[in-house]
Amino acid sequence: MHMTRIAALAALSAILLAGTALATDKEAASRPATTSASEVPADLIAKIDAEARPQGSPKTRQEMTAAMAKAMQTVLQMGRQAETDYAGAANLHEVRIRMVQAADLLRRIAQDEARGAEALQIAHRILAGSGPPTFKAQADWYVLRRKLTDSPADANQIGDGIRGFVARYAKTDAAGDALTYGAVLAMRLDQNALVNELVAKLQSEHANDPKARSVLRQMGKHPDIGKPFTAELTRLDGTKLSLPKDLLGKVVVIDFWATWCGPCVGEVPHMKKVYQGYKGKGVEFVGISLDRTRQDVEQFVKQKQMDWIHTYDGQGNPTADKYGINAIPSLWVIGKDGKVFSDSARGRLEELIDKALEAPTTAPATTAPAPK
């Protein structure tokens, strides 16, 4: 099933809004806990991130929307309290970027314009602070996006605004982020020539950046196809799995998923059927779980009798981070030589497995077209 243009833009915006906050999970976790008012404690940031993930397993779009709204309200409440308790903290931008994400999601899913105004105010506080360029670029993009989409703007205004934004970060470590944000905004505003210009720079200069990888895939560019899929994974029994080395010669289906993801759970019966049909034909499945705990995965896999390989390497899964996986389920097919055959196999898994089995060596598969 191909995404519509509207759905693609929504997904891209969600990727970008979530990207910086998710990318800082490991940074926050690597710092020792502190009670000093000069720094927001790492464990508090981890708690905010935990609250941002909907609880339970929503089964319908309405249930997911309600769960997301509740989660975002909690994130905002915790963020406001952190701004009060740690007003002078050097890392307050880490909390504020999460607040921008939460407030903007509430603006969109609950049509709450008061939260939209709050998101802009928080973004301006990030820009006025001393945070790193990666956070400022995120906030700057949000302000520019709202400016260009909330009121009419002609092509010249859009081009000047986006190129100016990209230029502001060109000589910083946020250069790739700025190009990514700019390309998505240009796409949203139907500036096709500008999209092509920015995407070309992304491909030539930042193709290995996880966030750029994710957005390029959504735009139909697929930067990983034909390249080795490399991952060091831990099976649920604690043994290691090294890809591609350990499964060379087999076609491998990679499933990025989680038990809290409604669409992932909905795919389980189909995945079981496909696995049963192909496991004796030189095909292996590898689940890469993004769950909160190993126990969540173990219990679910046992209950649903999902008999293929399952791995868990913590909430901040390094392989998902590396490949820019910001939306699940995400199904990939890896060829017999360990190279990516498809990074968008959902909805046509059997077709792509058959093609990968027939290929003597991995050749780039026909991938889903860019959203129209």
| 310 backbone dihedrals φ, ψ, rounded to 5° | -125, 140
| Nearest-angstrom CA–CA distance, 328 and 53 | 13
Check: CB of residue 126 under 8 Å from CB of residue 135: yes
Residues recognised as catalytic? 261, 264
Assigned token pair, 372: 């129209």
Please answer whether residues 277 and 367 qualify as being in contact, where contact means their C-beta atoms are separated by less than 8 angstroms: no
Percent of the chain as helix, strand, coil, to the nearest 5: 55, 10, 35
d(CA 68, CA 105): 8
Question: Would you say 126 and 97 are in contact if contact means Cβ atoms under 8 Å apart?
Answer: yes
Nearest alpha-carbon partner for 324 in 96, 1, 12, 57: 12
Strands (E), 157-314: 231-234, 240-243, 251-257, 283-289, 309-312
C-alpha distances in Å from residue 83, one per residue of 34, 79, 240: 16, 6, 42
CA distance 28 to 51: 16
